Amino acid sequence: MITFSAELKADAAARTISGKIVPYDGEVGMTSAGAVVFERGAINIAESSNVKLLLEHDPKQPIGRAQFFNETEDGIYASFKISKSSRGTDALIEAAEELRTGLSVGVMVNAAKPKNGVLYVSSAELLEVSLVQAAAFKSAAVTDIAASEDEVAEPTQPTESETVVEETTAVEATPTVEAAAVEAARPAVTAMAYSKPRIELTAAKYAEQSIRAALGDEDARQYLVAADSTVNNPGLVPTRQLSEIINPLGTTIRPSIEAITRGVLPDAGMTFEIPKITAMPAVAEIAQGNAFQDTDMTSDFLSVTVKKYAGQQTFSVELLDRTSPAFFDELVRNMGAAYAKATDAAVNAAIITGASLDATTTVTFPTAAELLGVVARGAASVYNATLGLSNPFARNMIVNTSQWSNIMTLNDSGRPIYTASQPQNAGGAVTPTALQGNVAGLNLYVTPNTASGTDTDGSILIVNPDAYTWYESPTYRLRAETTATGQVTIGYYGYGAIATKVGAGAFKNNKA
């Protein structure tokens, strides 16, 4: 889903917020998916009356519903009727006081094309619109605030008798408000305060509301809050569910990609070419009167293949509609973690394939002396192979988690070589609390995204980052619903290409 901000107007008297939600004319906005341009007519609005206005894209905080949408040459305009809830009134206050000054759309992209680092969206479905703290454009600001006296209220405090909770009857208290003066230059809009309602509190009612709250019913959740805050009946102690989610399986780190250079993927084609010098002209000492050394410079093209990395999740529409919004957030985060793992593993494999193999063998987990030997031989090998690059030196070391563990054990008479801070042990810094460090002058990157975590050749890589480049597009999310089967499919994908510009710009260990 892409979120995109634009300008708004708020009318506190009519309880409406309106404004441009999407600009056209090639205007670039910085969204949750990066730089984005919406092409004219790109956004489809299936049923305008079903579009809700949320607060900061939080499905748990609806504040209004769309009245109409109007598409013009320069963008899409919309107007929203704001709820008379305290949250809706607060939103009007924040708009009036310029605390939230933008409108932002949430869309599901159906078709888009990247170009020069910008994603051009040609087809998308509007999911929701949100009132946000700030818009993506300088002109996006609250430009009109109006209020009437009956919208302005001073809160009243509940009396002691109004806090009584009865066992079987439910009587809602009538809200009490007082009108306050309205400033001529800038109206003050204050949220109304309601006296605390009496609620029906029985075991059966509590159980029913607990179930409805678990399915996402906001009124039921408010009932539980009121019940739990006003009474402590035996047998009605609920089991709380925290909003945090425990997930020890997914991570979005990409150490192998971080250890090399990055580039922007070309906007078209599944292959692209990079010119590469294959032979240098020669200069030699020539005797007087003899012909010049005649050796031509030659070049060729390095062809780089673009690959797609994609995955999907299929689940029922009931799960999407009736479960906690945290489910969708966690699903998208986990799909991003899976994408990160697949792309980082592909880059790690490409470096291992292109790297020069150390002519000297070592044990699976090198000693301190053997590790220094790998670094020394690797540094010299990489330098000789990348002399033509702007920086021909090896600067990074990539290891798997098993080698990381081994490096932390290397010691000098019991003193850790790579973790101590004293000058006599200042060979680098490697700690169990960070996947980056320094070993013998090389920046250390630890990756869990390898084919094997133990003893393969290439578990230690000495790399000149300029010798390998990872080109990548933005990532995309698609949603498809099949009403016949009641299934929803979420797709997550992107395109990437690893260019091995100088294979010998990497050097790998050779286990015995």
Question: Which H or E element spans position 447?
Answer: strand 442-447
| pLDDT higher than threshold 80 for residue 323 | no
Top pLDDT among 32 and 236 is at 32
Question: Which H or E element spans position 438?
Answer: strand 436-439
Q: What is the mean pLDDT of the chain?
A: 78
| pLDDT higher than threshold 50 for residue 186 | no
Do 68 and 78 form a contact (C-beta atoms < 8 A)?
yes
Task: Copy the structure tokens of residue 79.
Answer: 């107007």
Do 230 and 224 form a contact (C-beta atoms < 8 A)?
no
CA angle centred on 69, ends 68 and 71, rounded to 5°: 155
Q: How far apart are CA 265 and CA 199, in angstroms?
A: 60
User: Can you give the pLDDT at residue 308?
Assistant: 94
DSSP 313: E
Q: At what angle do helices 203-214 and 218-230 cross, to 10 degrees?
A: 140
Nearest to 53, CA basis, from 107, 109, 103: 103
User: Can you give the pLDDT at residue 160?
Assistant: 39
Instruction: Give mean pLDDT, residues 399-407.
Output: 91
DSSP 190: -
Q: How far apart are CA 169 and CA 171, in angstroms?
A: 7
| pLDDT higher than threshold 90 for residue 120 | no
Residue 248 pLDDT class (50, 70, 90 cuts): confident
Question: Which H or E element spans position 461?
Answer: strand 460-463
| pLDDT higher than threshold 50 for residue 137 | no
Nearest to 12, CA basis, from 97, 76, 129: 97
Residue 136 pLDDT class (50, 70, 90 cuts): low
The percent of residues in the chain predicted with pLDDT above 90, rounded, is 26
pLDDT tens per residue, range 42-89: 888 888 778 999 988 888 889 999 988 888 888 888 888 888 888 888
* Count of all residues that appear for the chain in the document: 512
Q: How far apart are CA 257 and CA 245, in angstroms?
A: 28
**Which alpha helices (DSSP H) does 175-272 contain, by range?**
203-214, 218-230, 255-258
Looking at mean pLDDT, say which of 115-129, 234-248, 340-354 comes out highest: 340-354
| pLDDT higher than threshold 60 for residue 182 | no
Question: Which H or E element spans position 67?
Answer: strand 58-72
Q: How far apart are CA 33 and CA 306, in angstroms?
A: 20
Residue 272 pLDDT class (50, 70, 90 cuts): very high
For the chain, state the CA radius of gyration.
31
| pLDDT higher than threshold 80 for residue 426 | no
Residue 154 pLDDT class (50, 70, 90 cuts): very low
Looking at mean pLDDT, say which of 4-13, 98-107, 286-295 comes out highest: 286-295
Residue 486 pLDDT class (50, 70, 90 cuts): confident
Top pLDDT among 149 and 504 is at 504
Task: Copy the structure tokens of residue 240.
Answer: 């709380």
Q: pTM for the whole thing? A: 0.53
Q: How many Cβ atoms sit within 10 Å of the Cβ of residue 424?
A: 9
User: Can you give the pLDDT at residue 6?
Assistant: 54
Do 191 and 86 form a contact (C-beta atoms < 8 A)?
yes
Instruction: Give mean pLDDT, residues 84-109.
Output: 84
| pLDDT higher than threshold 80 for residue 423 | no
